[in-house]
Amino acid sequence: MTSQHSTGPVALKDRLDSLDVLRGFALLGILVMNIQGFAMVSGAYFDPSLHMDLTGLNWWIWAVSHVFADSKFMALFSLLFGAGIVLATRRRGEAGKPAWTVFYRRNAWLLVFGQIHAYFIWSGDILVAYAIAGFVVFWMRGLKVLPLTIIGLVFLSIALALSLLGSLTAPLEMANELATSFSMTAAEISAEIEAFQGNWFQIMAERSAQSFDMQVGSIPFYLFWRAGGLMLIGMALLKADILSAKRSDRFYWIMAVAGLVIGLPLVITSATQLDANGWDPLFAQFGVGLLYNYVGSLGMTAAYIAIVMLMVRSGFLQGLQNRLAAVGRMAFNNYIMHSVLCTLIFYGAGLGFFGSVERWGQVLIVLAIWAIQLILSPLWLSRFRFGPLEWLWRSMTYWRIQPFRKTS
């Protein structure tokens, strides 16, 4: 074990393999949804019928990704971020040193990285929201399991209430205007495609506008509360030994079955009802249509956690687990790699395929990136202690160059 007075970065021997495997699983899974943001106009994420074909195989790809990926992997990442706050600050507390100084430096740099990512690479960035929520939930990390869970559920309820109440209490004209912001005219679709297929300056102008709109319109009213609530629950799950694979097989089997029984019917209902209602924003984003996937995704996420913990405990597919763990240990680097590779594929500064690759083609790109990261991450970590961005982040956090190459 690490010395009680060791307050630097978490050493490899002190890492939880279960968290690394789960983080790698979440990292790969989130690309299933994010690929749409790279490849298609912004409104297509909320209304898949808005842009390109949505029949046959393409419809099924949307439906499967909605049921098994939409909101589930974002939830997993948020839970793991919360657990990471506890792990990253625990040793300083045990050594009697203030944890907030290092954590706030670490989180401030994450905020900087997130802004660079959002404004210079991809507007779908989640790091800014995580950093902002992290500044707040950090102060609750010392609470016990039950209070953390209750406050986390309150945060999640606030996110849901802000989405629902905005349309239910607003005058009809304002509600319709709100709904219009989630749809796009043919002219707007053409303009966005032209911008992202254009030169760097055209891309920068469109990306900056989208990033600003997301940060001002979504973080205060939705992402902060949802991500923050899940972070608190992630802290509770770590303290309850659920994320460390220390509970019994019976516990995880019950958790998996309960999560699927609760979550799967709701997310399937979400997909069918969204389709039946023509992805009407007042139904899908601000009405009862939001409820199905919002609640169902929590059940599905619980099932995913339980299934991965069972795999870790049993050693099932150990080779794959090792690769997922390597991807998870380089999650920051691999997340940014998603954005760099995809913007090079889809934006005009690269190959310029934005707005022209159907959903079935997007799946092939996702599979290719998965293969790249599952192969490269273990190879990199066989020679180096961290991914390049993880190393940079740690060095900036602790104000000293961290060891990079492995010595043995």
Q: What global pTM score does this model have?
A: 0.92
Q: Which two tokens stand for residue 405?
A: 């190459």
- For the chain, state the CA radius of gyration: 21
Q: Which two tokens stand for residue 278?
A: 């023509």
Nearest 5°: phi and psi at 405?
Answer: -80, 150
Residue 332 CB neighbour total at 10 angstroms: 19
The predicted-structure confidence for 69-119, as pLDDT tens digits, reads as follows 999 999 999 999 999 999 988 877 666 677 888 999 999 999 999 999 999
pLDDT at 169: 55
Q: How confident is the model at residue 165 (pLDDT cuts 50, 70, 90)?
A: confident
Q: Please state the rounded mean pLDDT for residues 217-235.
A: 96
105-143: b (≥16 Cβ within 10 Å) or e:
ebbebbbebbbebbbebbbbbbbbbbbbbbbebbebbeb
355-361: list long-range contacts, CB under 8 Å, 24+ apart: 355/39, 355/40, 355/41, 355/51, 355/52, 355/192, 355/193, 355/196, 355/197, 357/39, 358/52, 358/53, 358/58, 359/36, 359/52, 359/53, 359/54, 359/57, 359/58, 359/61, 359/62, 360/57, 360/58, 360/61
Residue 319 CB neighbour total at 10 angstroms: 8
Q: How confident is the model at residue 174 (pLDDT cuts 50, 70, 90)?
A: low
Does position 178 have pLDDT exceeding 70, yes or no?
no
Q: Which two tokens stand for residue 84?
A: 């990471």
Share of the chain above pLDDT 70, in %: 91
SS3 for 405?
A: strand
Q: Please state the rounded mean pLDDT for residues 280-304.
A: 89
- Residues 318 and 285: beta-carbon distance below 8 Å: no
- Residues 377 and 323: beta-carbon distance below 8 Å: yes
- In the numeric block, the tokens 């923050």 are attached to 228
- Residues 347 and 398: beta-carbon distance below 8 Å: no
Does position 248 have pLDDT exceeding 70, yes or no?
yes
How far apart, in whole angstroms, are the C-alpha atoms of residue 400 and residue 48? 47
How far apart, in whole angstroms, are the C-alpha atoms of residue 48 and residue 53? 9
Q: Furthest-apart CA pair in the chain: how many Å?
A: 67
Nearest 5°: phi and psi at 113?
Answer: -60, -40
Does position 282 have pLDDT exceeding 90, yes or no?
no
- Residues 76 and 128: beta-carbon distance below 8 Å: no
SS3 for 384?
A: strand
Does position 176 have pLDDT exceeding 70, yes or no?
no
Does position 172 have pLDDT exceeding 80, yes or no?
no
Q: How confident is the model at residue 8 (pLDDT cuts 50, 70, 90)?
A: very low
Q: What is the DSSP string of 308-359?
A: HHHHHHHTTTHHHHHHHHHHHHTHHHHHHHHHHHHHHHHSTTTT--TTT--H
142-149: list long-range contacts, CB under 8 Å, 24+ apart: 143/235, 144/239, 145/236, 145/239, 145/240, 146/236, 148/232, 148/233, 148/235, 148/236, 148/239, 149/232, 149/233, 149/236
Q: Which two tokens stand for residue 386?
A: 């961290």
pLDDT at 7: 44
Distances (CA, A) of 287 to 222, 269, 350: 14, 14, 39
